[in-house]
A and B are shown apart, each in its own frame.
Chain A
Amino acid sequence: DGGITQSPKYLFRKEGQNVTLSCEQNLNHDAMYWYRQDPGQGLRLIYYSQIVNDFQKGDIAEGYSVSREKKESFPLTVTSAQKNPTAFYLCASSYLAGVLTGELFFGEGSRLTVL
């Protein structure tokens, strides 16, 4: 089945450690996105990528890094520089029509807890 796979679903990290969240899609979508959601709040954009080997910062990129070496994959690294990393992280993808974003599809999310 086509879709977006995020792993792990749950992750615990000690302060000072980097952690990488995986996101893979087999929808042949051009664009991929990482969002952060805190309890009771909306989604905030961390990074997005419209093409392989290129990506742009979103609204809250500090303390995060990404790569886009393959069309299907867009991993997110939460670095030790992120001051409050405990959150729910959602990966999404969409097709592009020129610069316009198509329907956005989401993975099931990864819950990161810093101990």
Chain B
Amino acid sequence: GIQVEQSPPDLILQEGANSTLRCNFSDSVNNLQWFHQNPWGQLINLFYIPSGTKQNGRLSATTVATERYSLLYISSSQTTDSGVYFCAVEETSGSRLTFGEGTQLTVNP
């Protein structure tokens, strides 16, 4: 099956700093999604981004499908951005998403 690798595994920032999270995948995909899991375990869908660039407030994401990677940018980070960020991809055979192991982000005040 497809392999999904996220980096870095852990990231510690001071409030106000910017960061870039990376997701590499081993094969062609139909779509890619980014999620944020808060400390209580709730997963929120941030972006549905099979290709191109999208922005939502301080967050933006870019997927370069031909080169098999996606980037999530967080600008002016806040303590509420802390948690685990996952990317998930759908193989071209369709039907299901495969998740990476996540990036644990800690934003300190």
Prevailing SS type, chain B contact patch:
strand
In the complex, the answer to whether A104 meets B33 with C-beta atoms within 8 Å is: yes
Complex partner residue of B45 from A37, A50, A104, A108, CB under 8 angstroms: A104
Q: Does B57 contact A (CB under 8 A)?
A: no
Residues of chain A lying within 8 A (CB to CB) of residue B25 = none
Q: For the complex, is A2 an interface residue (Cβ under 8 Å from B)?
A: no
Closest to B90 in A: A101
Contact B42 A56, beta carbon cutoff 8 Å:
no
User: What size tier do the contact residues of chain A reach?
Assistant: 20 to 34
**B96: A residues at CB distance < 8 A:** 33, 45, 48, 58, 101
In contact, A100 and B42 (Cβ under 8 angstroms): no
Measured between beta carbons, the chain B residues less than 8 angstroms from A41 are 101-102
Inter-chain contact A42/B99, CB cutoff 8 Å: yes
Chain B contacts to A: CB under 8 angstroms: 1, 30-31, 33, 35, 40-45, 48, 86, 88, 90, 93-102
- Give A residues with C-beta under 8 Å from B: 33, 35, 37, 41-45, 48, 50, 56, 58-59, 88, 90, 92, 98-106, 108-109, 111
